[in-house]
Amino acid sequence: MDAKTLCLGVLLRGEASGYEIKKAFEEGPFSHFHQTSFGSIYPALNALSAEGLITGRAQAQDKRPDKKLYSITPKGRSALISALKIEPAPDVMRSDFLFILSFAQFLPPRRVGHLIDQRIAWYREALERMESCACTNTVPAGAAFVRGMGIAVYRAAADYLEAHRAELIAEISESATLVAE
């Protein structure tokens, strides 16, 4: 899924600036299953604009830098629908946290505990953000389904970490492969 398609997807939900698109992937409705950076968003918006798939208008703001608000065009809408026809690549989870923890026996138990606590807090915070979104019954069916999946998966992750934290710490504390803090 390239940056252009991702931007079109956000813009289908309504007018937005580059900064707002970034937020949609950072804390908004897309945050739990895709991400992008300014380095790909701004070039993508320029390309989409040149191809006539979106149109931009400048929005002067009080006590804020100007915004460039982009809207999807009918041509852009059909380009998106057509892009949705591709076979989706396999789902991918990327977690430095789990990579590090898979070598828990080489880490000080205190650090392992701290890492797990941090991650539980992170998942719980994300869950609150997803659940609090009061829009439950106004959201289109697809978005609601996807949001529910995010909640289910994040809850499973947080629950697992809470349930197995003590066990892991106990096991690595016993072991002799401990390294110095």
Residue 123 in tokens = 């998942």
Q: 61 is in the binding site of which of DNA, a copy of itself, none (Cβ under 5 to 8 A by kind)?
A: DNA
H or E segment to which residue 54 belongs: strand 54-59
The nearest distance, CB 161 to a copy of itself, in angstroms, is 7
Whole-number Å distance between alpha carbons of 171 and 21: 44
129 binds DNA (CB under 7 A): no
Helix axes 18-26, 38-50, angle to 10 degrees: 130
Q: 161 is in the binding site of which of a copy of itself, DNA, none (Cβ under 5 to 8 A by kind)?
A: a copy of itself
Residues forming the site for a copy of itself (CB under 8 A): 1, 6, 9, 12, 29-30, 32-35, 80-81, 84, 86, 88-107, 115, 119, 122, 140-143, 145-146, 148-150, 152-153, 155-157, 159-161, 164, 167-168, 171-172, 175, 179
Q: Compute, in degrees rounded to 10, the torsion defined by CA atoms 10, 127, 26, 54.
A: 0
